[in-house]
Amino acid sequence: MDYIVPQNQPSLLLKLISEDVLINKDINDFGMVVRYPEYSFAEIYISNGCLNNCSFCKLTFQKYPLKSAELSKVKEFIDSLNDEKYSKVILKGTNICQYGLDIYNEYMLPEIISYLEKKENIKNVILAGFSFKDAIKNDFQSVIANSRKVVELCGSLESGSDRILELIRKGFTSDEIINFVQGIRKINYKSLYLNIIAGFPTETLDDIKKTLTVLKKLDPYMVDICRYTNSEFVYSSHYKQLSPTEIQNHTRIYSKVLQKRNIDINISGKGYEYN
Ligand code: SF4
């Protein structure tokens, strides 16, 4: 394979290579259904890859391009899990909100949710790999709010500071995500499991304060605090980096405040300057 890329765009090379490697990969190669019969729950991996371009994200290069499972296959798996009396199903993907875009040119997650509604034995559905940007921009609010099965959303806030969200290119503002979640909860309560980044380049104590305020309004039961890890292949490496000590301090502040609020936390990411 030969690639020609500008010297100042090494990330383009990664993108081209991963496109070549993954373009013909079958969705089943990623392992579509995992059953945990002892807990009566199963995971369905409905799509791989994401077309968003968050400035820090390495997944975009590792899992690009978006690859959705065929809708008929997903429905088939839902039917068999229902027949086998599985009560809990997790729909998973790198970004499940973009499910269907690559093969049907349409955002098809709402159709899967509506399909699940009719399944008697499946009581609880968790949406993991939930991109608030795609959900907000494509009006998923009412289908999720009115779903009796969807009980939990797992996705990324990253930051509650609009300045940082813009640097990340997250695609939503703090007000938009608050309105989205609160609008849903007015109709039906859903639990939230959120990721945030501690020590994103240029993050200040004021940004941390804003993130903690937004988290208070979103009221997640669990927060994954991911220590920012830089890489020369991502756009955010162009921003002014915090030192490892500052990243550590920011992580400490987040974990201390959230624990005080009785929110479960998990700390991830190496927090080294480069990987
Ligand atoms: S939405 Fe998630 S997977 Fe997609 S680019 Fe952003 S961080 Fe990466």
The H or E element that residue 10 is part of is helix 10-22
Nearest-angstrom CA–CA distance, 74 and 190:
23
| Ligand 1 midpoint to CA 170 (Å) | 8
| Cβ density class 147-170: b for 16+ within 10 Å, e for less | bebbbbbbbbbbbbbbebbebbeb
Position 30 pLDDT exceeds 60: no
Nearest-angstrom CA–CA distance, 175 and 24:
40
| Ligand 1 midpoint to CA 231 (Å) | 15
Pocket test for ligand 1, best of 48, 54, 268 (most atoms within 8 A of CB): 54
Average pLDDT, the chain: 89
Query: Per-residue pLDDT averaged across 50-58, rounded?
Result: 90
pLDDT value at residue 23: 57
Query: Which residue lies with its CA nearest to atom 8 of ligand 1?
Result: 57
Nearest-angstrom CA–CA distance, 122 and 86:
6
Please tell me the pTM assigned to this model: 0.88
Q: Which residues line ligand 1 (CB under 6 A)?
A: 50, 52-54, 57, 59-60, 94-95, 131
Atom number in ligand 1 closest to CA 133: 1
What string of DSSP letters covers 126-171?
EEEEE-HHHHHHTT-HHHHHT-SSEEEEEEEEE-S-HHHHHHHT-S
**Eight-class DSSP state of 115:** H
Predicted confidence (pLDDT) per residue in 110-140, tens digit: 999 999 999 999 999 999 999 999 999 999 9
pLDDT value at residue 271: 55
Assess contact for 241 and 230: CB atoms under 8 A: yes
Which is nearest to 92 in space by CA: 55, 53, 129? 129
CATH architecture of 25-268: Alpha-Beta Horseshoe (3.80)
Pocket test for ligand 1, best of 131, 134, 224, 234 (most atoms within 8 A of CB): 131
pLDDT value at residue 274: 41
Pocket test for ligand 1, best of 50, 53, 94, 268 (most atoms within 8 A of CB): 50
Q: What percent of the chain has pLDDT over 90?
A: 79
Predicted confidence (pLDDT) per residue in 203-224, tens digit: 999 999 999 999 999 999 999 9
| Ligand 1 midpoint to CA 201 (Å) | 17
Query: Per-residue pLDDT averaged across 236-256, rounded?
Result: 95
Is there a cis peptide before residue 244, judged by omega within 30 degrees of 0? no
pLDDT value at residue 245: 95
Position 226 pLDDT exceeds 50: yes
pLDDT category at 273 given cuts 50, 70, 90 is very low
Query: Which residue lies with its CA nearest to atom 6 of ligand 1?
Result: 54
Q: What are phi and psi of 140, to 5 degrees?
A: -85, 0
Predicted confidence (pLDDT) per residue in 142-200, tens digit: 999 999 999 999 999 999 999 999 999 999 999 999 999 999 999 999 999 999 999 99
| Ligand 1 midpoint to CA 7 (Å) | 25
* 10: Cα separation from own chain's centroid: 25
Higher pLDDT among residues 32 and 18, named by residue: 32
User: HSE of 165 in the Cβ direction (CA atoms, 13 Å)?
Assistant: 20
pLDDT value at residue 11: 52
Lowest mean pLDDT among 3-12, 54-63, 154-163, 213-222: 3-12
Which residues, listed in sequence order, are joined to residue 88 by a DSSP beta bridge?
A: 41, 124
